[in-house]
Amino acid sequence: MVDTRVTLCGIEMDNPVIPASGTFGFGYEFAELYDINCLGTFSFKGTTAEPRFGNATPRIAEFEGGLLNAVGLQNPGVDAVIAKELPKLREVFHKPVMANVSGFSVEEYVTVVEKLDTCPEIGWFEVNISCPNVHGGGMSFGTDPKAAEEVVCAVRRVTKKPVIIKLTPNVTSIADMAKAVEAAGADGVSLINTVLGMRLDLKKRKPLLANTTGGMSGPALLPLAVRMVWQVYNAVSVPIVGLGGVSTAEDVIELMLAGATAVQVGSANLVDPWAAEKIVHTLPETMEKYGIKKLTDIIGGAH
């Protein structure tokens, strides 16, 4: 009998499988297909202070190795999430959930976290610092260590729940960014977020996405995610949530060997709505195949 349990920032999970924010809605949509309580947890749709319609369409484009998206953080805003989305989630999911928080200023991050902090369903905050800093000329918080530290410190002051910082790979050294947010008080890091990319329509001779560029995700990202998780594991002592191109139980084990404590499944959910469930159910037999008794024994095991 294998043991799939892991502990992420002090909270025990039945397994390390976490559908990623933006690919799983608020959970109840997928609960119509299967019992989502089989998951370790999931990270719900990125939430901002005010409602956002998102970017113009088209905002999804495919390529051979995955997807490009420029959805633009479409969400109903934090007040609607608390009033409408979380009550529906409570009916179908009975574990702590991960709240993904986005913002365009430090003040917005604080507002969203402060409001969600009162919700008993929230186990962790996953703070996405890939948003443009409107007070800093539009540069992403996640590409500037000082800006990232400012967000972490501000959020840390308004919650005692674990704060996991979602890092962008669009930097020179993701290990340096991880060290900066750890020093500022982050309880963990998740990586990698999408890589900036674009596609062109050959007939129109124009970008396929209305936003011109978008975030690249899918299987092509797995080697990049493994490399960055490996580097961050060597740089920090806080737990890592690994993501990027995960579609099988083998991918989960690979990222854990590189240093991840838990693993998120993103674009695979959009291609196959049962992807995360299949990974959960095939994980024990995959562990047996590779002689793994306890998942906690392999975290960083390739180093």
Residue 131 has a pLDDT of: 81
**Residues assigned a catalytic role:** 131
Place of tokens 């500037």: 144
Residue 130 has a pLDDT of: 86
Residue 136 has a pLDDT of: 67
Q: In the chain, which stretches have pLDDT less than 50? A: none
Residue 261 has a pLDDT of: 98
Label residue 19 exposed, middle or buried (CB < 10 Å: 0-12, 13-18, 19+): buried
Q: What is the pTM of this model?
A: 0.96
Q: Within a 10 A sphere around the Cβ of 198, how many other Cβ atoms? A: 15
Hey, where are the domains in the chain? 6-298
Residue 252 has a pLDDT of: 98
- Region 6-298: CATH code: 3.20.20.70
* Amino acid identity, position 294: K
pLDDT in tens, 94-104: 999 999 999 99
**Intra-chain end-to-end CA distance of the chain, in Å:** 26
How many residues would you count in the chain? 303
pLDDT in tens, 216-247: 999 999 999 999 999 999 999 999 999 999 99
Task: Determine the number of helices (DSSP H) and then strands (DSSP E) in the chain.
Answer: 10, 15
